[in-house]
Structure 1
Amino acid sequence: MPTITAWLANLVCIGFTLIYVAGFYIFRIPGNRNDPPVILARMKAVTVASFVSASVVWYLVQAIEAEESAATVLGLTQPLEVSCLKPLLLTVILFLGPLSVMFFDQELPFQKCFSFKRDVKMNLLSLIGQRNYVVAPLTEEFVFRACIIAVLNQAHYSKNYLIFISPLYFGIAHLHHALDNYNKMGRTRQALQQALFSSLFQFAYTTLFGWYASYLFIRVGSLWPPVFCHSFCNVMGFPDLGGNHHRSTVQKLIIYGCFPLGIVLFVHNFGNLTQPPSAAAGGSMYWK
């Protein structure tokens, strides 16, 4: 049976990364990244990149006569059962600190300062909301998680390689923001330093998240856990430990206690909430 060689697999993954990023420039139109025409153009670009990447995976799976279908290796055949939703609960636990801040600010659902019309309907249905919480998580996880892991797995890379090395493609894909930031900040030496620092920081946390999302994809064998967790992380944003000086001592103690408590509970429940689906549901082809 034909196989995918290591160099070909990595070459294909580099191609996925270039296709995804190149679309931003091929479909580029003048304006701010939050302008509706710019958002629509970028959504079009990543959608095209996703279809192209899926077609490449399908072709390779057919060419090597793999036992599993393209849909299976891309994590699209697992039913949306509890095993796909448990990782989302695990991610919510990790954000216990930020959620406690929202609780004291009365910003959680059903609290005084929360509005379903404003915070859910208007935000989610807006172009910015669709980009941040639907299109970006879905296409990024599909290309940089499902497609890349599917190809590397067919080249017989180890699970550790798939979890810890494959996310580097995801991190590298975000480095192009350095050029945009450099141009926007005036192309000075200080602008270059700020752009590099910002991009390296983004590279670090996207890689960290990539390790987590890759583990979920391999462990559960489904695209949906990393997509749901990615979307939730985009909703929450990067945790902010500051800005609590105005609070009472009790609130500060609870908030600053919830940050490490969330990490402890995350680690404690990691195994239970990332269980692969049952054998009756097909299990995970990657977790063997």
Structure 2
Amino acid sequence: MFLNYVISSIPSLLYVSAIYVWYPCVGDVVRSNENQKQKLRRIISVGFSTIFSIMLCHYLFGSSFSEMGIVGPTLLHHLSSIIRCFSLTVILFSGPIIHTMFFEKVNIFYLHMDELHSKPVTFASVYLISPLLEELVFRSCTLSIIRQLNCEGEMECERIMSSRIVVNIAWSTLLFSLSHAHHFFEKDTNVPMECVRLVVSALFGMLSSFYFLRTNSIWGPFVSHIFCNILGAPPIDRIGYLPRYKKIIVWSLYLIGLLSFFALAGPLTR
């Protein structure tokens, strides 16, 4: 069984390799959102590697595009996934959203609009292309390969995937997190910030894998991924600057959002 999980890491290895296909070694790369040509090259190479991974899943491992959550069975199925996953994500992050927009008077939806004009490739990458490619690789391809290698027959497949949902989520999350760890080896890396990014990536990876396994659609996790990229990490470090009564309110909102998510996650993804 462990070998099956190792094999399922092929798409993620291709993904990370494609990021650096243009460079002789990782250390020669300076992570810079200002370098639009570098970003564009990465998008092209990762895009091709993702298409290759999808074809690999389909033709070598026998996963249908429906099983990968890309198309079918109906359009309504995917629309339902989008609505349910997005609603749960808003509930989960309701504390940070209210904290930022009402207590700090910051409109999170306008924060990144300058990038659309000054760094259009970065904007497209962060808020559209990367979320799509990452969901296809780390959820659709990886989890579909696990399904095909561990299952024989539809009924047995559903039973095995349900019984191993925690393991499957953990494995997909591990690969997703490790795919972001390469930034530690780049020049001018802010190590503490990368540690925070790694933790945030792991938490989102768990959330997105849960959505995919429960709804069998890539589009719900994709929309949630975009939304989370717009929100960024919850501004917990800034709560300490609020007056005491506001701290109590904000912490309560964070807790209510978290508890509400756990209460509704099962029913809304059933």
TM range (shorter): 0.7 to 0.9
**Rg (Cα) greater in structure:** 1
Instruction: Report how far residue 108 of structure 1 moved.
Output: 4.1
- Per-residue CA deviation, residues 31-83 of structure 1 (Å, 9 max, x unaligned), is 65312111111111221111110111111244xxxxxx521121012423233
Question: Which residue type is aligned with residue 155 of structure 1?
Answer: L
* Aligned position for 1:91: 89
- Mark the CA change 1:184 to 1:146 in structure 2 (over 3 Å): closer, same or farther: same
Unaligned runs of 5+ in 1: 63-68, 186-193, 276-288
2:28 counterpart of 1:22: no
Distance 1:11 1:151 in 2: 10
Return the alpha-carbon distance in structure 2 between the equivalents of residues 179 and 121 of structure 1. 26
Cα displacement (A) at 1:264:
1.3
Partner of 2:267: 272
Q: Counterpart amino acid of 1:48?
A: F
Q: In structure 1, give the amino acid aligned to 2:32.
A: R
Looking at structure 2, the residues matched to 177 and 31 of structure 1 have their Cα atoms a distance apart, in angstroms, of 9
Q: Which runs of 5+ in 2 are unaligned?
A: 151-159
Q: Return closer, same or farther for 1:199/1:121 CA change in 2, 3 Å cut-off.
A: closer
Q: Report the Cα distance in structure 2 between the residues aligned to 1:273 and 1:223, rounded to whole angstroms.
A: 16
Correspondence 1:127 to 2:125: no
Larger helix proportion of the pair: 2
State the identity as a percent.
26
* 1:103-114 superposed matches below 5 A: 103-108=102-107
CA contact (8 A) 2:19 2:45 kept: yes
Q: Deviations over 1:1-42 (max 9, x none)?
A: xxxx763x4343332222111112113496653121111111
Q: Equivalent of 1:256, from 251, 259, 267?
A: 251
The superposition leaves residues 213-243 of structure 1 with CA deviations (integer Å, 9 ceiling, x where unpaired) of 1111111010011111111111111112233
Question: Which whole-Å CA distance do the structure 1 matches of 2:30 and 2:202 have between them?
Answer: 29
Q: Please report the TM-score for the alignment, with normalisation by the length of structure 1.
A: 0.75
Cα contact 2:89–2:224 (8 A) shared by 1: yes
Query: Residues 239 and 163 (structure 1 numbering): CA distance in 2 closer, same or farther, change over 3 Å?
Result: same
Query: In structure 1, what is the equivalent of residue 79 of structure 2?
Result: 81
Query: How far apart are the structure 2 equivalents of 1:88 and 1:236?
Result: 13
How far did 1:272 drift?
A: 2.5
Indicate the RMSD between aligned Cα atoms, in angstroms.
2.9
Give the number of aligned pairs: 248
| Counterpart Cα distance in 2 of 1:248 and 1:144 | 41
Instruction: Give 1:178's match in structure 2, choosing from 179, 184, 187.
Output: 184
Q: Give the counterpart letter for 2:79 in structure 1.
A: E
| Counterpart AA for 1:57 | C
Q: Using the alignment, how far apart are the partners of 2:241 and 2:201 within structure 1?
A: 31
Identify the residue that residue 136 of structure 2 maps to in structure 1. 142
Relative to structure 1, the CA distance from residue 160 to residue 243 in structure 2 (aligned partners, 3 Å threshold; closer, same or farther) is closer
Whichever residue aligns with residue 77 of structure 1, its letter is: V
CA displacement at 1:247 relative to structure 2: 4.2
1:252/1:161 CA distance change after superposition, 3 Å: closer
Q: Which has the higher contact order (CA 8 A, sep 6+)?
A: 2
Q: Is the 8 A contact 1:90 1:266 kept in 2?
A: yes
Q: How does 1:86-235 map to 2 (within 5 A)?
A: 86-101=84-99, 102-108=101-107, 119=113, 122=116, 126-156=120-150, 158-180=164-186, 183-184=187-188, 195=191, 199-235=194-230
Distance 1:132 1:184 in 2: 20
